Amino acid sequence: MIEIENPFGKIATLEQALAFFKEEMTVMFGGFGGVGSPPNLIEGILAKEIKNLTLIGNDTGFPNIGIGKLVSQGRAKKVIASHIGSNPIAGKLMNQGVLEVEFSPQGTLVERIRAGGMGLGAILTDVGLDNTSVTKGKQQMELNGRSYLVETALTAEVSIVYAEKADPYGNLVYDKSARNTNPLVAMAGDFTIAEVKEIVPLGGLDPEEIVTPGIFVDMVILSNGVNWKWVWEEN
């Protein structure tokens, strides 16, 4: 076991990470159908009984997978996502008027998150321009003879992501399709916490392979791994 030095003070415990969460907070999460969502952070937020969260991410997972746990246990007052279909409880809460859901087309949503992380105010896209459920309340503009929808950037007070490896500076490497929205979400948080499978010493990651530069990551915690059963394991 190599002793990992912590010269940037970013490596922390789950308890230290959880100190950042409070009621009414906006939390952005990485993951796609629960794949690539940080399991211990989600479990910790759940255990701390933090409520009235605004959650921003691709989808609401499955009832017991990923961010789905927080949604199905009523900890969110609002969700900004592209899809809630794999979590029927989310749809039920939405229809009951208990959960506000802002839908954004998937490509637009991740681009809004990326824009937030990149210091931009908005993006222009024509996806959804022919759809009143998307255009409602949004500014439209003409540019070079084409019509666009102005889609505002998204940021969050805290972003939580999952990565395969981190070094003490918070440089991150992901694993296969668990990368998904994580690199975007990591950049869009005012404070970003990465839960990672492995922490390697400084210099332990090839600079060419780093996907998220550590400048975007404020805290790194070591993960105990996924604590839910995947859908395909239930059958």
Partner 1 sequence: MASELDIRNLMAKRAAREIVGGMVVNLGIGIPSLVPNHLPETTKVMFHAENGILGMGPSPGSGLEDGNLCNAGGYPVTIVPGASYCDSVTAFGMIRRGRIDVSILGSLQVSRQGDLANWIIPGKKVPGMGGAMDLASKAKKLIVLMSHTDKKGNPKILEQCTLPLTATRCVDMIITDKAVFEIKNCELVLMEYFSTTSVSRITAQTACRFSVSEDLKVIEV
* Residues lying near partner 1 in the complex (CB under 8 A): 32-36, 58-59, 62, 65, 81-86, 91, 94-95, 101, 103, 105-108, 110-111, 113-114, 125-128, 130-131, 133-134, 164, 174-184, 211, 226, 230-233
> What does the alpha-carbon distance between residue 66 and residue 117 come to, in Å, rounded to a whole number?
22
Least distance in Å: CB of 51 to partner 1?
Answer: 22
**Is the Cβ of residue 33 or residue 168 nearer to partner 1 in the bound state?**
33
| CB nearer to partner 1: pick between 48 and 125 | 125
Query: Closest CB to partner 1 among 176 and 207?
Result: 176
Sequence-distant (6+) residues with CB within 8 A of 26 are 53, 54, 56, 156, 157, 158
Give the nearer residue to partner 1 in terms of CB position, either 202 or 210.
210
CB of 76 to partner 1, least distance (A): 15
| Min separation Cβ 189 and partner 1, Å | 15
CB proximity list for 16: less than 8 A, separation 6 or greater: 219, 221
CB atoms within 10 A of CB 102: 12
What gap in Å lies between CA 10 and CA 166, rounded to an integer? 11
Under 8 Å between Cβ of 63 and 72 = yes
Q: How far is the CB of 183 from partner 1 (least distance, A)?
A: 5
- What's the closest the beta carbon of residue 22 comes to partner 1, in angstroms? 28
Query: Considering beta carbons, is residue 21 or 195 the nearer one to partner 1?
Result: 195
Alpha-carbon distance of 113 to 181, in angstroms, equals: 9
DSSP H/E element including 192: strand 189-199
User: Which amino acid is residue 76, in one-letter code?
Assistant: A
Give Cα 181 to chain centroid, integer Å: 7
Q: What is the DSSP letter of 71?
A: H
